[in-house]
Structure 1
Amino acid sequence: MANYLFLRGNRNKRFFIDIASELIQRGHHCFQMKFELGELLFKSGIKTLYAPSAVSKKQYPISDDELLTLPIYNITFKRTILKKRTSKSELEMYKRYMYVIDQYIKNNHIDVICLFNGYHWIDQVTKYIATKYGLQIRYFEDGLFRPYTITYDSNGINAKASVPKDPDFYDRIEVNEERYRKYLFHPENAELTHRTKESLIKVALIKLVSMLGAVFRLNPRLYDHINFWEASKYFVTKKLFSRREEDIIDWPAEYVFVPFQVARDSQIFYNSPNVKTMEMLLKVTVQAVKSVNEKENRNIKVIIKEHPEDMSRNSYHDLKQAYKQDETVLFVKKFNVHKLIKHATAVITINSTVGIEALAHHKRVITLGNSLYNIEGITSKCDQLDQLDEVLLQSLQKPVNTSRIDKFLYYLRFKYQVEGTINFPNKATAKNVVDRMLLED
C-alpha cells in the first residue's frame, strides 16, 4: 500500500479527486493539498490540507538563485513576455509554501507525488522537494488523442515523455488493424461517448473565486499570465468563436500547413530552443517554401491556422498586414483541422499535437522543436532554421514510411496513453487511470 499526494489539478478540479477515491477503494492512502479558494467548492473524502491556512513565516532552505533556475512557468513568463524580474517577495512566498509542502510530505509519509503538467510553481517546488527525498513523481496531462485519452507518465510530459525514440522498437510492434482503424480517435469504452460538454461558465466562475482569493489574500497569486481582464477577454472570445462560421478558402493545388501554437505555452518556453514566436515560425517557413518553389519550379502555398486558445491574446493583425500582399500565405481562423491536414502536401510544426493528427493522415511532418514524436522514419526534425528548405525538399522527395507511422501511433494510443476524459468526471476514467498507475507502480 502506498501513500499518494495529489497537488494542483487541471481546470477540472474533480479529476484528481476521482482518481484518489478509486485508489482509496483499492486500499491505498491518498492526500490532497489545495492552494486556491475555488478548489474548496469541491468536496471529497480525501484527507486534505488547504495550504494557505498553514503558511507561516517559516521558509524552506533554498537560495533565490536556485529557485530561479527551476523551470517555473510564472518566472519564465515574467522574464520572457513581461520582461520583468521575479521579486524577492514572490520568491519568499515560494519558500514559505515549500516549507508547508515539505512538512506535509514528511508528516504523512508520502511515497508518490501526482502533478498535472508540472511547470506551475507549485509543481516545480514540490518536485524539488520530492527529488531530495527520492520520492516517485507521476505526471498527468491532456491526452494526445483528445478528448478520449489522458497522458500519464513517470518521466514527464511532451518532449520529456518516456516514449521510446528507437525506430526499431516500433518496427517490432504488431498492430491490431481493426482496433487501430476503429478506435485511434474514438473510445473503446462506450461510457466515455456519453460525455457532457464542459461548462465554460462554471470554469470561469471557479477561476474568478480563486482570483478574488488572491485579491483578499485567502490564497496565493497562482498565475502571472492571467488577470481578470485577460480572463474576461478569453471568456468572451471563446463564446463568440463558438458561434463563428467556418472560413471559406480556395484550396491551393499544393500547400504546407502550419498550425500556430499558444505563443506563451510551456511547449514554446521549454521545448522550442530555436523558435520562440509564431512570427518567427511563419517567417522561416515562408522562406523555406519559396526556396523550394524556386528550386523545383513549384507553387506551394502556406496555410496558417491560428490557435483558438490564443485568439483573445494575439490577433496577429500586424503579421497579417505584413503578408497581405504575399500570395504564398493564407491565414484561417476557424476551419476543420482534419480537412487542412488531409489536403496538405506537408505539415510544419514546432511540436504541436497537430503533428500526431497529421501522422494519422500519413502526412510528411517536419518539426522545429523538441517533441515526443521526433523519431527517425516518422518525422523530419530541423535543428538549423536556415536549412529548413533542404529538410522540406528531402522530405518531399522520399516516400512516407506508413508502416512505421502506424506502429508508432498504435503504441502511442493503445500502450502509452490511458483511455479516459479529462474534462468531465466518470468512473471509467478513474478506473483506467488507476489500473495503469498500479500496473506501473
Structure 2
Amino acid sequence: MSVAVFLQGPHGPFFAQLARRLSQSGVITHKINFNGGDRYFAWADFQVDFTGGESDWSAFFSDYLSKNNVDTVICYGDCRRLHTIAKSICESKGIAFGVFEEGYLRPDFITLEFGGVNAHSRTDWSREAINSYLARERKPVKSVGQTFFRRARFAMAYYLAMRVSQSEFPHYRHHRSLSWLGEGVCWIRSFYRKGLYKLMERGLTARLTGELSGRYFLFPLQTRDDFQLRKHSDLVSIENAIEVVLQSFAQNAPKGSMMVIKHHPMDRGFCHYQKLIRELETRYQITGRVIYCHDLHLPTLLDHTLGVVTINSTVGISALFHEVPTQVLGRSLYDLPGLTHQGGLSSFWSQPDPVDPEFFQRFRAYLYDKTQVDGSFSRHIAATIDGVCRRLTEARATERRRQPETEVDLV
C-alpha cells in the first residue's frame, strides 16, 4: 500500500482535501506541519509537528521516511529551503517527489510535476521531444473565475494561525519576509488599492488600445519574493529588474516607443514602484515614455503591444499565445528557439525574434498534457482533485520507468 507524506501546501484546504481523497482510495497519508498555519489547514491519517530548526530537518525527515516506508512526498513549490532539502533526500532514497505550483497556463490550471517545477522541471523540453509528441487533445473543463478574495481570506487565516501558534514552532522561519501582522495589513491595503486603481486607471486601456496601440513594450512584474526571481534568475530584486529593463530600453528602443510596466496583482498591497520608476526615467532621460499601471486586462494589453519582457513569469506563455515577441531575462522552460527572442535584451527592442505559431501550438499541447491539471487551489477544489488523481495515475508509469525500485501508486 502506498504511503504519501505532505509537506507545505498552498494556503487553504487544498492539500487537506487531496489527502482525504487519497486516504479514501487506500493511500496512507501523513502531514508534517512546520507552523500553526500549516496545522490549521491540515488533514491526514497521521500528522506530526516539526518544531526543530533547519539544521535538524535533514535527519528528522530522513528518519521519518524510513520509519514509515514512505514512497511519495508531495509539496507546493520546490525552492523553499526545507523543501529543497527534502527533495535531495528523496532523490537519494529513490522516493517520488511530487511538486505542485501555480499553473504554467493561467488562470484555469495548476501545475503538477515529479522532481521539480519551472527551471527545475525534469520534463524533456527539447524541440525534438515537443515536435515528436502526439497530443491527446484534452479540453479544459471550466473557467475558474475570480479567486482573489478567497485566496486573500485563506492567506490571512494562515498567517493568523501561524502567529497564534508561534511559541510551539520557535525555530520556524517563513520564506516570506513579513510578519503575520505585516501580511494582514498588506492584504487589507490590497483591497483598498484595488478599488483605487480602478478609478485612477479609467481611460488608460482606451489610450493603450487607441493612440498607443502598437507603440509600447510591456514589462509585467512578478511578486517581490517570487522564487522564479530569487532562484531562477541572476537578478537580485524587482527593483534591479526594473532598472535593467529601463536602462536597456533607454539605450536601444526605437524613438517614440513607450514602456508599460504592469504591477503584479498579488503584490498590490505589498509594494509600490512609482518613485523608483520616476527616478529612473529622469536618470535615463526617458521621462514621459513610461506608464506604470496595476489592474488593466492583460490579454487586451498583449493584443496591442510591440513585445513583452519578462523575468520568467508564465505571462510569457500568454504573450507567446498572442504571438507577441518575448524576451526572457531569467531561466524558464519556455525560453526556446522558435518561441522567445534568443539574441539578448539589447537587440530585442529593434530586432525581436518572431514567435513560430505552429511550434508554439505543439509546445502548448505538450505542456498541457505533461504538466497541467484543470482547476485551482482555491475554487472548484473537488473537481481539481479529480484531475490531480488522473494525473497521478498517468505519472505512475512514467515514474516507474525512471525509478524502477520506487512505487508511485497513489490512486
Q: TM-score, normalised by structure 1?
A: 0.78
**Gaps in structure 2 of 5+ consecutive residues:** 397-411
Shift of 1:175: 6.4
Deviations 1:367-390 (A, max 9, x none): 1110011111011245xxxx5222
Letter in 2 for 1:7: L
Shift of 1:210: 0.7
| 8 Å contact kept, 1:259–1:304 | yes
Residue 243 in structure 1 maps to residue 226 in structure 2: no
SS at match of 2:299: helix
Alignment partner for residue 99 of structure 1, among 55, 59, 63?
59
Query: 1:378–1:188: structure 2 CA closer, same or farther, 3 Å change rule?
Result: same
Mapping 1:197-236, distance limit 5 Å: 198=150, 200-214=152-166, 216-218=167-169, 220-223=171-174, 225-236=177-188
User: CA separation in 2, counterparts of 1:193 and 1:391?
Assistant: 34
Letter in 2 for 1:217: E
User: What's 1:2 paired with?
Assistant: 2
User: CA separation in 1, counterparts of 2:390 and 2:160?
Assistant: 35
Residue 259 in structure 1 maps to residue 220 in structure 2: yes
User: What's 2:266 paired with?
Assistant: 309
SS at match of 2:165: helix
More deviation in 354-363 or 201-210? 201-210
User: CA separation in 1, counterparts of 2:223 and 2:369?
Assistant: 27
| 8 Å contact kept, 1:139–1:156 | yes
Shift of 1:346: 0.5
Shift of 1:106: 1.6
User: CA separation in 1, counterparts of 2:253 and 2:223?
Assistant: 29
User: CA separation in 2, counterparts of 1:350 and 1:202?
Assistant: 28
User: CA separation in 1, counterparts of 2:41 and 2:241?
Assistant: 41
Shift of 1:235: 1.5
User: What's 2:402 paired with?
Assistant: none
User: CA separation in 2, counterparts of 1:167 and 1:115?
Assistant: 29
Matched residues, number? 382
User: CA separation in 1, counterparts of 2:85 and 2:253?
Assistant: 49
Deviations 1:204-252 (A, max 9, x none): 13311212322x2346433161213421332122211332316132332
Query: 1:379–1:293: structure 2 CA closer, same or farther, 3 Å change rule?
Result: closer
Mapping 1:143-158, distance limit 5 Å: 143-158=103-118
Residue 11 in structure 1 maps to residue 11 in structure 2: yes
Query: 1:113–1:303: structure 2 CA closer, same or farther, 3 Å change rule?
Result: same
User: What's 1:356 paired with?
Assistant: 317
User: CA separation in 1, counterparts of 2:43 and 2:115?
Assistant: 28
Letter in 2 for 1:130: C
Letter in 2 for 1:401: D
| 8 Å contact kept, 2:33–2:48 | yes
Query: 1:286–1:222: structure 2 CA closer, same or farther, 3 Å change rule?
Result: closer
SS at match of 1:151: strand
User: CA separation in 1, counterparts of 2:70 and 2:33?
Assistant: 16
SS at match of 1:347: strand
Letter in 2 for 1:308: P
User: CA separation in 2, counterparts of 1:210 and 1:16?
Assistant: 17
User: What's 2:242 paired with?
Assistant: 282
User: What's 2:289 paired with?
Assistant: 328
User: CA separation in 2, counterparts of 1:49 and 1:293?
Assistant: 56
| 8 Å contact kept, 1:36–1:219 | no
User: CA separation in 2, counterparts of 1:110 and 1:302?
Assistant: 51
Mapping 1:288-437, distance limit 5 Å: 288-293=248-253, 298-322=255-279, 323=281, 326-381=287-342, 387-395=344-352, 399-424=354-379, 426-437=381-392
User: CA separation in 2, counterparts of 1:233 and 1:314?
Assistant: 12
| 8 Å contact kept, 1:271–1:371 | yes
Shift of 1:193: 6.7
| 8 Å contact kept, 1:358–1:365 | yes
Percent identity of equivalent pairs = 22
User: What's 2:88 paired with?
Assistant: 128
Mapping 1:152-191, distance limit 5 Å: 152-173=112-133, 187-189=140-142
Shift of 1:414: 3.8
Query: 1:109–1:429: structure 2 CA closer, same or farther, 3 Å change rule?
Result: same
Letter in 1 for 2:262: K
Letter in 1 for 2:351: Q
Letter in 1 for 2:173: L
User: CA separation in 1, counterparts of 2:121 and 2:179?
Assistant: 31
Shift of 1:195: 8.2
Query: 1:241–1:268: structure 2 CA closer, same or farther, 3 Å change rule?
Result: same
Shift of 1:258: 0.6
| 8 Å contact kept, 2:186–2:269 | yes
**Gaps in structure 1 of 5+ consecutive residues:** 56-92
Shift of 1:189: 5.0
Query: 1:103–1:425: structure 2 CA closer, same or farther, 3 Å change rule?
Result: farther
Deviations 1:282-301 (A, max 9, x none): 3333344444445xxx5221
User: What's 2:48 paired with?
Assistant: 49
Q: TM-score, normalised by structure 2?
A: 0.83
More deviation in 342-351 or 29-38? 29-38
Give the CA RMSD over aligned residues: 2.7
